[in-house]
Amino acid sequence: MSRSIGDLGEFVLIGQVTTRLPQGSEIILGPGDDAAVISAPDRRVVATTDLLIENRHFRREWSSAYDIGRKAAAQNLADVAAMGGRPTALLVGLAAPPQLAVAWVLDCTDGLRDECEVVGASVAGGDISAGEMITLGITALGDLEGRAPVTRAGARPGDVVVLAGRLGWAAAGLALLRRAGAGADAIPGDLAPLVAAHRRPEPPYALGPALALAGATAMCDVSDGLVQDLGHIATASGVAVELSRPALTPPPALAAAAAALGVDPWSWVLGGGDDHALVACLPPTATAPNGCRVIGRVGERGDAAVLVDGEPWEGAGGHEHFR
């Protein structure tokens, strides 16, 4: 007979699962007490938090519990990397219906563990509660390793804008799943990588610290859409960002998906989120790390915060949480 989390309660997350997770050198005291103890060699801690809510950020019929765990960890670990930090630990809050199978929770935490292993981080603890739908609240911590944090507010006119990672893949995958509905398994094989990108993003974690070392003046992860997230940098820095379409030409997979769905692929490239690419501004004399490409430049602030080939972008700029 399958067990539900209502049968086991807090033991599922705190006792049975997280003690199986790898402990990094930064975890002094892990799960089992009222709080974890994590070393901070830099004497500063990067901290960020995100929510994933069932049927808003994920759907169980489209994503496995393991994929959801990987995605929940990735979107938080990417925020640490976007500050130029190295992720060290996650704290996990889970609300779920009491009838949710224990197997689902174990698979989800396996995903959390494996995504943490990519960056050498650990799950340090968490909490669990009953709720009407599955909600994951993740807090990620990181180490700046002696560097200054890279914020959104330091971009200067003359800087180049560089991108690390993919754009539009997760948005295209979501669009394919929405169109396919219950027939998600019937999505053509050549478009399967786009669906995989929605289910399990692959942020370029290592390039966050690398960009910081290269002298990045501003940086953020692309979680809500390139135009929208670059707009945050432009506003915080008091500059304009000028993007080049040729540098952002949609790859063949995106073009094929757009043709199949009758969608403008630029709406995914410029407005799609959840790939968790990193976008940064570098001084013109700096050398961008391998894996980055130049996609624009920083100019003086004008009427528009973000321009595409010299013109304001008229399409959707990205995800807005309350619309």
CA angle centred on 183, ends 64 and 3, rounded to 5°: 35
pLDDT tens profile 148-184:
999 999 999 999 999 999 999 999 999 999 988 655 6
Give mean pLDDT, residues 84-102.
95
Q: What is the pLDDT of residue 183?
A: 55
Lowest mean pLDDT among 17-21, 105-109, 304-308: 17-21
Q: What is the pLDDT of residue 17?
A: 42
What is the residue-averaged pLDDT of the chain?
89
CA angle centred on 56, ends 55 and 59, rounded to 5°: 35
Name the percent of the chain lying above pLDDT 70: 88
All CATH 3.30.1330.10 domain ranges in the chain, comma separated: 5-143
Contact residues for 75 (Cβ-Cβ < 8 A; gap 6+): 50, 52, 138, 201, 223, 274, 276
Q: What is the pLDDT of residue 26?
A: 67
Lowest mean pLDDT among 36-40, 70-74, 104-108: 36-40
- Does pLDDT of 11 surpass 80? no
> How many CB atoms within 10 Å of residue 16?
15
Q: What is the pLDDT of residue 314?
A: 80
Q: What is the pLDDT of residue 20?
A: 37
CA angle centred on 137, ends 135 and 138, rounded to 5°: 140
pLDDT tens profile 251-299:
999 999 999 999 999 999 999 989 999 999 999 999 999 999 999 999 9
**pLDDT class of 77 with cuts at 50, 70, 90:** very high
pLDDT tens profile 181-212:
655 666 888 899 999 999 999 999 999 999 99
- Does pLDDT of 21 surpass 50? no
What's domain 160-312's superfamily in CATH?
A: PurM-like C-terminal domain (3.90.650.10)
In total, the chain counts a number of residues equal to 323
Give mean pLDDT, residues 219-231.
96
Q: What is the pLDDT of residue 323?
A: 54
CB 81 within 8 A of CB 87: yes
Residue by residue, DSSP assigns 93-140 as: EEEE-TTSBHHHHHHHHHHHHHHHHHHT-EEEEEEEEE-SS-EEEEEE
Q: What is the pLDDT of residue 19?
A: 37
What's domain 5-143's superfamily in CATH?
A: PurM-like, N-terminal domain (3.30.1330.10)
pLDDT tens profile 112-150:
999 999 999 999 988 999 999 999 999 999 999 999 999
- Does pLDDT of 1 surpass 80? no
Q: What is the pLDDT of residue 13?
A: 52
**pLDDT class of 32 with cuts at 50, 70, 90:** confident
CB 139 within 8 A of CB 38: no
Q: What is the pLDDT of residue 318?
A: 58
Give mean pLDDT, residues 37-58.
92
- Does pLDDT of 94 surpass 80? yes
All CATH 3.90.650.10 domain ranges in the chain, comma separated: 160-312
